[in-house]
C-alpha cells in the first residue's frame, strides 16, 4: 500500500466523513420520524369479531382513507376556521405593537430604554402553559381581581371565556407573550441602520414621524417579513393556550384547533393512524402557506430592486 494511494482516498472520503454525523442525525431524528408518520397515515387497524383476546387486531393498508376522512371531517374544518379567526387578531395586533414599541424605543428622547425593553420582552420568557394558566385565572369571573374591580365600579362584566370574547381572550395571551420577542427582532434591525441615513433625512427637514414612516419602516421590512413568517407558523400550530383554558370553560372543545384534534385522535381516542394523516395535512398546509408568503415577499423585493 503506497502512501500516495492512501492520501487520495483520504481526500476523497473526507467530505463524506464530515457530512456523516449530520446526515445520520438528520436521518434518525428528522427523516425517519416523518417517514414513519406518513407510513402510519396510510394504515389503519382492522378488528375481528368482538375484538377481545390475542390476534383480534391487525394493522392493515388503508390507502388514502385516513386523508379523505380527515379532509371531510367537519371538526378539522371548524378548527381551521377558528384558528384563522384567532390568527386574524393575533398577527396584526402583535406585529403592530412590536413595531410600535421598537420604533418608540429607537427614538432619541426615550428614557430608561434598557429597563423598558426588558419589561416588554419579559413575558416571552414565561412558558406558554404558565402564561395561559395565569390569564385563565384572570378570566374566571369568580376568582379574577379584574371582575372584582368591575363589580365594585358597577360596570358590565363580560364573559371572556365564551363566544367572540373567547377569541380576544386567547389572542391576548399570545400577544402578551409574543410581542416582546418580535419587538427585539425589529429593534435589532433598527439599530443596524447607519446614522448618516438619519442625518441626511434631518438635513432635508424630516420630522421624527416622517423618519419613522419613510425610512425606518421600509429599512426594517426584511425583519417584518421574518416576524410575520414566524407568527403565521405559530398561529397555525396554536395548541397550549386553548388546551390550558379548556378545563376552565365549556366553550373550548377538545378539537378547538387542528393540532388539538391531532392530539385528541392520537391520545384521547387512541387512533394514531388518523392522527398521523391529520398531522401530515397540517404540516403540508403550514409549509405551503409560510413558504408561499416568503416567495411572495421575496419576489416583491426583487421587483423593487429591479426598479
Q: Which of residues 124-183 bind other proteins (CB under 8 A)?
A: 137, 140-143, 162
**3-state SS class at 269:** coil
CA distance 291 to 298: 10
Secondary structure of residue 46 in the 3-state scheme = strand
Total chain residues near other proteins (CB under 8 A): 48
Give the distance, in angstroms, between the CA of residue 107 and the centroid of all CA atoms in the same chain.
30
Q: Is 36 in the site for other proteins (CB under 8 A)?
A: no
Half-sphere exposure of 88 (CA within 13 A, CB side): 7
Measured from the CB atom, the residue of 24 and 288 that comes closer to other proteins is 24
202 binds other proteins (CB under 8 A): no
CB-based contact 120:101 (threshold 8 Å): yes
Nearer to other proteins, 217 or 248 (CB): 248
In the complex, minimum distance from the CB of residue 253 to other proteins, in angstroms, rounded to a whole number: 4
Say whether residue 31 binds other proteins (CB under 8 A): no
Partner residues linked to 61 by β-bridges: 43
**Cα–Cα distance between 181 and 217 in angstroms, integer?**
18
Within positions 53 to 72, which residues make up the interface with other proteins, using CB under 8 A? 53-57
Among 268, 288, 296, 301, binds other proteins (CB under 8 A): 268
Binders in 74-93 for other proteins, by CB under 8 A: none
DSSP 43: E
Shortest distance (Å) from residue 58 CB to other proteins? 9
Planar angle of CA 8, 13, 14, nearest 5 degrees: 100
- Closest Cα to residue 73, out of 246, 275, 301, 290? 275
Min dist CB 197 to other proteins, Å, is: 47
Which residues in the 230-259 window bind other proteins by CB under 8 A? 247-251, 253-255
Which stretches of the chain bind other proteins, using CB under 8 A? Answer: 3, 6-7, 10-11, 13-14, 17-18, 20-21, 24-25, 28, 44-57, 137, 140-143, 162, 247-251, 253-255, 264, 267-271
Amino acid at each position: 500500500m503506497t502512501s500516495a494511494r492512501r492520501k487520495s482516498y483520504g481526500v476523497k472520503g473526507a467530505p463524506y466523513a464530515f457530512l456523516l454525523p449530520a446526515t445520520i442525525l438528520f436521518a434518525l431524528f428528522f427523516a425517519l420520524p416523518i417517514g414513519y408518520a406518513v407510513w402510519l397515515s396510510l394504515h389503519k387497524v382492522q378488528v375481528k369479531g368482538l375484538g377481545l383476546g390475542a390476534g383480534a387486531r391487525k394493522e392493515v393498508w388503508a390507502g388514502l382513507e385516513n386523508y379523505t376522512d380527515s379532509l371531510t371531517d367537519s371538526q378539522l374544518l371548524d378548527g381551521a376556521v377558528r384558528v384563522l379567526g384567532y390568527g386574524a387578531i393575533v398577527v396584526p395586533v402583535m406585529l403592530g405593537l412590536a413595531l410600535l414599541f421598537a420604533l418608540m424605543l429607537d427614538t432619541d428622547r426615550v428614557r430608561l430604554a434598557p429597563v423598558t425593553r426588558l419589561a416588554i420582552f419579559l413575558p416571552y420568557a414565561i412558558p406558554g402553559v404558565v402564561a395561559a394558566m395565569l390569564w385563565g385565572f384572570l378570566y374566571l369571573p369568580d376568582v379574577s381581581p379584574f371582575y372584582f374591580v368591575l363589580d365594585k365600579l358597577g360596570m358590565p362584566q363580560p364573559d371572556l371565556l365564551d363566544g367572540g370574547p373567547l377569541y380576544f381572550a386567547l389572542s391576548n395571551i399570545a400577544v402578551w407573550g409574543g410581542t416582546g420577542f418580535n419587538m427585539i427582532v425589529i429593534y435589532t434591525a433598527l439599530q443596524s441602520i447607519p446614522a448618516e441615513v438619519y442625518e441626511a433625512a434631518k438635513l432635508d427637514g424630516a420630522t421624527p414621524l416622517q423618519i419613522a414612516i419613510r425610512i425606518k419602516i421600509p429599512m426594517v421590512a426584511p425583519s417584518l417579513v421574518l416576524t410575520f413568517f414566524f407568527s403565521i407558523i405559530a398561529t397555525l400550530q396554536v395548541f397550549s393556550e386553548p388546551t390550558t383554558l379548556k378545563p376552565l370553560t365549556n366553550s373550548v372543545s377538545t378539537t378547538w384547533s387542528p393540532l388539538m384534534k391531532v392530539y385528541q385522535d392520537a391520545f384521547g381516542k387512541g387512533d394514531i393512524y388518523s392522527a398521523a394523516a391529520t398531522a401530515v395535512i397540517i404540516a403540508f398546509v403550514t409549509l405551503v402557506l409560510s413558504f408561499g408568503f416568503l416567495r411572495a415577499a421575496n419576489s416583491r423585493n426583487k421587483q423593487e430592486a429591479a426598479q
